[in-house]
């Protein structure tokens, strides 16, 4: 069908055209679909697991969130850090300064803006202690990531920890086995753990980035990069004073159930085809 989204009336028209029923109203279609919890007029994007070792790599990350490593409990002097970069954060200088809220009127901000450049925000989140560390720069890369690692590992309890597990995605700043070896050279007690490819949703730092996006960057109104960086880092400091560990409830068992539904169902469809 030449539709990506169907309205109730379009569905009603199609079933009549195809001879499924003689007549039907859009309201009736809506009532039936609502009762069955089916919404063909809605859609969402998703990422198919492409990493051949998806389950094993994801399980390592989920075990760390549960306080396990190779099925053994983490020690009291082990630390778990989640890290990544939020790139291309624009400094948007609005054509007209925004207006605060007033009785009967919402806050206003001008739609048109001039671009004042973009920066990258590298951040690390302590999964167990709910501490956040970060730095702003013009670009990402191995050296900016090294500076973030230095900022964390240069202080307690990380510098004297038995092990510090660094959970990252497969971005260019920390990709592949070379990044694992490089981190171990920087700090012998640091262990880099990659999420599967296209699975940044397993990285808890993304939750913090979503909070930053909602509370600081929407709407984005900064005159220059210096002002934008100051705003982000001030929020980081304030958030760190009240932050609590995220209540992560998605476990390795939940992952296995999800994969059995998605991957198993896809295999059955391919076999049927």
**Is 247 a member of any domain?**
no
Report whether pLDDT(268) > 80: no
Domain identity same for 123 and 212: yes
**80 & 146 share domain:** yes
| Whether residue 199 sits in one domain with residue 84 | yes
First to last CA, the chain: 20
Q: Do residues 128 and 22 share a domain?
A: no
Residues 90 and 203 in one domain: yes
Evaluate whether residue 260 is within a structural domain: no
pLDDT of residue 84: 97
Using alpha carbons, list the distances in angstroms from residue 272 to 103, 151, 266, 267, 268: 61, 54, 10, 9, 6
Strands 72-73 and 68-69, bridge-based pairing = antiparallel
Highest mean pLDDT among 68-77, 96-105, 256-265: 68-77
Q: Which tens digits make up the pLDDT trace of 143-197?
A: 999 999 999 999 999 999 999 999 999 999 999 999 999 999 999 999 999 999 9
pLDDT of res. 269: 45
Alpha-carbon gap, residue 86 to 206, rounded angstroms: 9
Same domain flag for 217 and 83: yes
Token look-up 């001039």 returns 114
Rounded-to-integer distance, Cα 264 and Cα 23, Å: 38
Percent of the chain with pLDDT over 70: 96
Does 175 fall in a domain?
yes
When divided into structural domains, the chain yields a total of: 2
The boundaries of the domain holding residue 29 are: 1-44
Cα–Cα distance for residue pair 73/12, rounded to 1 Å: 57
The pLDDT score that the predictor gives to residue 29 is: 92
- Same domain membership, residue 120 and residue 66: yes
Is residue 19 domain-resident? yes
Is residue 139, in this structure, part of any structural domain at all? yes
Note the pLDDT of residue 45: 80
Instruction: Report if residue 24 sits inside a domain.
Output: yes
Global confidence as pTM: 0.83
């Amino acid at each position: 069908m030449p539709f990506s989204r169907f309205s109730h009336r379009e569905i009603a028209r199609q079933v009549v055209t195809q001879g499924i029923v003689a007549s039907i109203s859009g309201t009736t279609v809506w009532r039936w679909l609502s009762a069955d919890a089916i919404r063909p007029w809605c859609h969402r994007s998703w990422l198919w697991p492409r990493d051949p070792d998806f389950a094993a790599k994801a399980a390592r990350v989920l075990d760390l969130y549960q306080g396990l490593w190779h099925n053994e409990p983490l020690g009291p002097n082990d630390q778990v850090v989640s890290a990544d970069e939020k790139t291309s954060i624009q400094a948007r200088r609005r054509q007209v300064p925004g207006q605060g809220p007033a009785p009967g009127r919402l806050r206003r901000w001008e739609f048109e803006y001039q671009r004042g450049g973009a920066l990258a925000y590298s951040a690390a989140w302590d999964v167990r202690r709910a501490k956040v560390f970060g730095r702003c720069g013009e670009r990402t890369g191995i050296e900016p990531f090294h500076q973030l690692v230095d900022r964390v590992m240069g202080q307690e309890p990380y510098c004297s920890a038995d092990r510090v597990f660094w959970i990252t995605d497969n971005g260019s700043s920390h990709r592949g086995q070379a990044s694992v070896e490089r981190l171990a050279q920087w700090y012998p007690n640091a262990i880099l753990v990659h999420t599967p490819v296209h699975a940044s949703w397993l990285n808890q730092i993304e939750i913090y980035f979503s909070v930053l996006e909602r509370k600081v960057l929407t709407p984005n109104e900064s005159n220059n990069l210096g002002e934008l960086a100051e705003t982000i880092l001030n929020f980081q400091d304030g958030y760190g004073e009240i932050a609590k560990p995220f209540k992560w409830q998605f476990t390795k068992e939940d992952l296995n159930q999800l994969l059995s539904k998605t991957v198993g169902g896809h295999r059955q469809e391919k076999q049927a085809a």
